[in-house]
Amino acid sequence: MTVQSAQGLLLHGAQWAINNTESVPASVEVAGDRIGRIIEPTQSGRSGAEFGSIDLGGFQVLPGFINAHDHLQYALFPRLGVPPYRNYVDWGSDIHERFGECIAQHKRVSKRARLWWGGIRNLLCGVTTVCHHDPLWPELIEEGFPVRVVRDFGWAHSFALTEDLTAAYAATPKNRAFIIHAGEGTDKRAHQEIEELDRLGFLNRQSVLVHALAVDSEGAALIRKRGGAVILCPSSNKFLFGIIPDLSVLGGVGRIALGSDSSLTALGDFLDEIRFAIRNCKIAPHSALRMATTTAASMLRLEDGAGSVIEGGPADLIAVRNTGEPIETRLQKLTMHDIEFVMIQGEVKLVSPRLLERLPCALKRDLEPLQVDGSIRWLRAPVLELLTAAEQVLGEDKVHLGYRKLTIPAGVEAPHGC
């Protein structure tokens, strides 16, 4: 954490999404990794001399998004497959047979670099917390990792690819989520997985089922009765199986969040997934916003106001240009090019060139530039080192996050005046 954020930081001039939907003018004091105080225009705040400050005039501030499902190590991979498939097992077998060389090449990029690019893929689109559905490798919790990674939950990959499902469930911490791919496909095998989970006693309030594409009305009612929840990754489902989740059925589950899934199958990043869900699954924008913030926080057992802008809550914040549109309207067309500021646990992790010049000198240090499909963002990450590590294996100008090309911008100098 920077010295500046530890002492306190005043964010002022913006419209704030208090309670996620109400857009009001305010200033916010950040103390350490928390939101200390929300100061409305009619209130008096502390003097600017006691706080460093960032002018966010012209911007709208939202709570950082929570990506409920990702496989961070695959961020640099292309989309692979020759669909449609019946289930995830058929897909996995097929891509290793057809695209073995491509998979092997990408795996030659160090795991650390691949995981960090997974973090950056999320950071670029305003995700401040991500749930990684694989082992919690040490790289994911090392100091400076681009985003917050959920740590306290239990998981199994799936019925077919988990050696001991009972042991995985038993290892789940008390009162924490147990996350598993289930119903990922269109065949009988996928359909029966929900009933099998219930038969084993693994379908309850801890259970979070990823995809649930094969769930019918009876299955949705069963999940709801047992208190379970579902994470949707609809663009992956469309790619692999040719269909998308039926919200007229899955809406009966009650608790639903959104995940980006990996670049191996997804359309793009988390914002691409939100837009896809709104347009294709007919999810109302205000519901999609909750799925990406407060509902995800509840399902993943995140605490202390995660997914909201509230006093005492985490200082996980993002800013986009204030166009005067309601938040729900803006969400329907939001892309990573619109994310111009990201703060995680009180630390500025990403800024656009426009906002870079507004930062106090102490907050500009250690930021490095990255160009993503024409947009430049300054990141608190070893961008040059990570891109070099990937290019040494994949080739110069051959590194992508999904469909977005990554380069170091030419002629961009370090911030002046500090």
Q: What is the pLDDT of residue 47?
A: 45
The one-digit pLDDT tens for each residue of the chain (418 residues) are 343 444 589 999 999 987 666 789 999 999 999 999 999 886 655 544 356 899 999 999 999 999 999 999 999 999 999 999 999 999 999 999 999 999 999 999 999 999 999 999 999 999 999 999 999 999 999 999 999 999 999 999 999 999 999 999 999 999 999 999 999 999 999 999 999 999 999 999 999 999 999 999 999 999 999 999 999 999 999 999 999 999 999 988 989 999 999 999 999 999 999 999 999 999 999 999 999 999 999 999 998 899 999 999 999 999 999 999 988 899 999 999 999 999 999 999 999 999 999 999 999 999 999 999 999 999 999 999 999 999 999 999 999 999 999 999 988 877 765 6
State whether 231 and 91 are in the same domain: yes
**Is residue 391 domain-resident?**
no
Tell me, what DSSP letter sits at residue 77? S
The tally of domains found in the chain comes to 2
Paired strand residues for 14: 26
Q: Tell me, yes or no, whether 88 lies in a domain.
A: yes
Q: Does residue 152 belong to any structural domain of this protein?
A: yes
- Please indicate, yes or no, if residue 389 is contained in any of the structural domains: no
In the prediction, which pLDDT does 303 show? 85
* Same domain? 36 vs 120: no
In a domain, 18, yes or no: yes
**What are the angstrom distances between the C-alpha of 378 and each of 176, 204, 365?**
35, 43, 11
Please tell me the predicted confidence (pLDDT) of residue 81. Answer: 98
pLDDT of residue 23: 84
Start-to-end CA distance of the chain, whole Å, equals: 19
In a domain, 72, yes or no: yes
Strands 34-39 and 22-31: antiparallel
- Predicted model pTM: 0.96
Q: Do 279 and 147 fall within a single domain?
A: yes
CA separation for the pair 4, 14 (Å, rounded) = 20
Q: Treating both helix axes as pointing N-terminal to C-terminal, what angle do 188-200 and 217-226 enclose, rounded to 10 degrees?
A: 20
- For residues 350 and 128, the answer to whether their CB atoms sit within 8 Å is no
Q: Specify if 44 maps to a domain.
A: yes
Q: Which of 299, 318, 348 is the last residue of a domain?
A: 299
CATH of the domain at 32: 2.30.40.10
Question: What CATH number did the domain enclosing 218 receive?
Answer: 3.20.20.140
Spatial strand order in the sheet of 256-258? 154-156, 178-182, 207-211, 229-232, 256-258
Last residue of a domain, one of 283, 299, 315: 299
Instruction: State whether 56 and 175 are in the same domain.
Output: no
> Quick one: 265 and 251 in the same domain?
yes
- Of 271, 299, 327, the residue that ends a domain is 299
Percent helix, percent strand, percent coil in the chain, to nearest 5: 35, 25, 40
Report the C-alpha gap between 390 and 49 in whole angstroms.
44
The continuous run of DSSP H or E covering 121 comes out as helix 111-123
Do 75 and 222 reside in the same domain of the chain? Answer: yes
Is residue 387 domain-resident?
Answer: no
- How far is residue 369's CA from residue 133's CA, in Å, rounded to a whole number? 29
Q: Do 126 and 70 share a domain, yes or no?
A: yes
| Six token digits for residue 55 | 């002018």
Enclosing domain of residue 91: 66-299
Same domain, 249 and 341: no
Same domain, 18 and 116: no
Torsion angle of the four alpha carbons 18, 49, 304, 301, in this order, in degrees rounded to the nearest 10:
90
pLDDT score recorded for residue 305: 92
365 to 4, 258, 291, 381, 416: CA distances (angstroms)? 11, 34, 34, 11, 11
DSSP 338: G
129 and 17 housed in the same domain:
no
Residues 57 and 204 in one domain: no
My answer on whether 265 and 353 are in the same domain is no
